[in-house]
Amino acid sequence: MTKSCVCYTTDMSYLFPSFVSALQARRFTRRDLADIVIIAFGIDTVAEAIFAEACARADIVFMSRSEADIRGAPAMLARLFLSELLPQQYDYFLYVDGDTQIRGPLDDLLLKPVPYGMFYGAPDPMTFARDDTDRQSRTIAAHLASLGLSSADACRYFNSGVIYAERWGWARIGAEAWRIFSSQPVASRFPDQDVLNLVGLPYCLSMSLSWNFPVFMNNVRVSSMISPRIVHYMARPKPWEGTFPPWNAETSAVYGEVARDFPQTARYWRRLKRATWLRHHLHQRYKRVHALVTWGLGAKRQRILAYESGLKRDEAVQGPPGRDVGAVQSVLRPSVGASF
């Protein structure tokens, strides 16, 4: 019985793309190392039957739950409750957003020891822009400061789209994040991520962007140095909606291949109308040029590469990955201010 899983939480809108990413995760993960789990919230009985059958065929664990199981919260907050939701056998989980694609083996990450109470997270792209003087960077810096983060903590602000955690430590983090979110809603574009950072930063271990690679960084001339394993499509358009820069037709074709192999799931594949497609296509071309100029030719790119180089140096000192029981059971004291 495996003690780890790669898991997705989704509602009806992300059910099909989550299934596609989960299929890739199953392909790129040793079966003796981790199960693949999809937890769906508030879906109808037809969708439940279709995806339960498809997942059974694909060796994926499928669970259908009610919003009541996450206190009536939207599905995007379900990651806060994973310690309650997942079957008891899993001591560790790799949470992955549904708007991702898995491009390479996940075993190296899943073999990393996770100290009790801790988790791994990759930096949000905002952290590489906050020190510049342009308007966007000033807005980012102001937002992070408004959360009460120190300059040092703002540099460590993590993206919550991929989290590799020790389950029981995450139970405390998720419970405190939900308490804050439900009692004092954070007014921002990223309310759940902001709250997770406020609570979780003291327990967050640095993780390579290889495991949570923002797709726009394809425009920044860093992908060959980082070798992405999990690509994260953080903004619209999404790859299941069509082929847009900075990804190619092969990336989007995956969804058609899954719809062909699992035809009952195809009705849940949401694509764009032609007029919307053209608007996104033109906008993505502009964004490609803008990202190359503002990120790929300046200090932001150097910060990304410096971050990755620092991780590689640390890993070289630590040696190859391997789950050591003594390391996993050790307790690291939080660096700053969690309230539990």
Alpha carbons 198 and 173: distance in angstroms, whole number = 10
In the predicted structure, residue 270 carries a pLDDT above the cut 50:
yes
| Residues spanned by the domain of 281 | 4-317
Residue 331 lies in a domain: no
- Percent of the chain residues past pLDDT 70, beyond the cut: 92
For residue 59, tell me if it sits in a domain. Answer: yes
Whether the predicted pLDDT of 323 surpasses 60: no
Residue 84: inside a domain? yes
Residue 45 near residue 160 (C-beta atoms within 8 A)? no
Can you give the pLDDT at residue 321?
58
Confidence at residue 227, expressed as pLDDT on a 0 to 100 scale: 96
Sheet holding 35-41, edge to edge: 61-65, 35-41, 4-10, 92-96, 158-166, 119-123, 204-206
Residue 150 has pLDDT above 60, yes or no: yes
In this prediction, residue 1 carries a pLDDT of 63
Q: With 70 as the cut, is the pLDDT of residue 30 above it?
A: yes
Mean pLDDT within 123-151: 91
**Closest to 249 measured CA to CA, from 283, 281, 289:** 281
pLDDT of residue 324: 46
Whichever domain contains 224, its CATH number is 3.90.550.10
CB 83 within 8 A of CB 171: yes
Residue 210 has pLDDT above 60, yes or no: yes
> Does residue 59 have a pLDDT over 90?
yes
Q: How confident is the model over 6-11, as a mean pLDDT?
A: 98
Q: Which residue has the higher pLDDT, 130 or 256?
A: 256
At 186 the pLDDT is 63
Helices and strands per DSSP (H, E), number in the chain:
13, 10
The string of pLDDT tens digits covering residues 292-322 is: 999 999 899 999 999 999 999 988 887 665 5
In a domain, 146, yes or no: yes
274 pLDDT band (50/70/90 cuts)? confident
d(CA 186, CA 314): 35
Burial grade of 171 (CB within 10 A; 0-12, 13-18, 19 or more) = middle
Could you give the residue ranges of the DSSP H alpha helices within 232-273?
A: 249-261
What pLDDT does 172 receive? 97
Whether 275 shows a pLDDT value over 70: the answer reads yes
Residues facing 123 on adjacent strands: 158
Residue 334 lies in a domain: no
pTM recorded for the entire structure? 0.92
Mean pLDDT rounded to a whole number for the chain: 91
d(CA 56, CA 264): 14
Task: Note whether residue 220 is domain-resident.
Answer: yes
Residue 324 covered by a domain: no
What was the pLDDT predicted at 278?
87
Structure tokens belonging to residue 146? 């408004």
Closest among 134, 74, 140 to 293, alpha carbons compared: 134
Spatial neighbors of 139 by CB under 8 A, at least 6 apart, are none
* Alpha carbons 140 and 103: distance in angstroms, whole number: 30
Does 335 score more than 60 pLDDT?
Answer: no
Whose CA is closest to 157, among 189, 190, 197? 197
Count of domains for the chain: 1
Quick check: 185 pLDDT over 80?
Answer: no
Q: How confident is the model at residue 339 (pLDDT cuts 50, 70, 90)?
A: very low
Comparing C-alpha atoms, which of 203, 198, 157, 153 is closest to residue 177?
198
3-state secondary structure 272-294: CCHHHHHHHHHHHHHHHHHHHHH
Average pLDDT over residues 216-230: 96
Residue with tokens 């949470």: 95
- Is 62 within a domain? yes
pLDDT score recorded for residue 277: 83
